[in-house]
Amino acid sequence: MARIKPHKNGTKKDLITQKAAALFRLKGYSSASMRHLAEEVGVEAPSLYNHIGSKSEILQAICFKVANAFTFYLDSIDIKYAKCTTLLESIIRFHIKMMLTSFNEVYVANHEWKHLKEPYLSNFLMQRRAYEKRLMEIMEAGMQAGELKKTNAYISVLTILSAVRGLEFLPARKKDISNAELENNMVNHLLKGIIK
């Protein structure tokens, strides 16, 4: 039988993971069957196991790829010496970019993490919590420096993260909004509000 070539610069495992992300987003992890995934890949279900260990291993790969991307971004920006508002703006923009460029993966990480098995579930939640904590520290520094209003930092972080997460609804709506307009609108809304 004909072999399906993996995409250029990617192993077959990568192809499977990518198709799985699309399928998991569409159907949800539990409702997405290995047979259905195999069909998308162009192969019979048992053949998948020549490349992957298990269904849940695919989910792990997706969730941690996303989680690591956010963690690494935070590592990459110089938190100590930048203005808090500049930091927050760049973080918001990064979240929006991730949502637009890795839609399926981010969606799956946001929605299907609860189906991770231990110890991956705990690790994932710990990593997310640590990420939120770092954002809270940025906010609190901003308040002390007088850049930000005094608010409950946790609620503010939650508000920002949830808002950008909501971009998962955008593709379904097919609004023609440029990425720049999208980013600017959200950044302004979340930082300066909407009241004149």
Q: Which residues bind DNA (CB under 7 A)?
A: 1-4, 12, 32-36, 38, 43-47, 49-51, 54-56
Tokens 């298990």: give the residue: 54
Residue 56 binds: one of DNA, a second copy, none (C-beta under 5 to 8 A by kind): DNA
162 binds a second copy (CB under 8 A): yes
Residue 163 CB, nearest distance to a second copy (Å)? 5
User: Please, which residue, 2 or 195, has the CB nearer to DNA?
Assistant: 2
User: Please, which residue, 27 or 83, has the CB nearer to DNA?
Assistant: 27
Asked if the bond preceding 6 is cis, omega within 30° of 0, the reply is no
| Phi, psi angles (nearest 5°) of residue 2 | -75, 135
Contacts to a second copy from residues 11-50, by CB under 8 A:
27-31
Tokens 């994932």: give the residue: 124
Contacts to a second copy from residues 115-144, by CB under 8 A:
115, 139
User: Please, which residue, 13 or 165, has the CB nearer to a second copy?
Assistant: 165
**CA distances from residue 15 to 6, 12, 29, 43, 111 in whole angstroms, order as listed:** 6, 5, 17, 12, 21
Asked if 124 and 73 touch (Cβ cutoff 8 Å), the reply is no
* Alpha carbons 109 and 64: distance in angstroms, whole number: 8
Residue 190 tokens read as 């979340």
Compute CA 64 distance to the chain's CA centroid, rounded to the nearest angstrom: 9
| Chain residues that interact with a second copy, rule: CB under 8 A | 27-31, 85, 111, 114-115, 139, 146-149, 151-152, 154-156, 158-167, 169-170, 173, 175, 177, 181-182, 185-186, 188-196
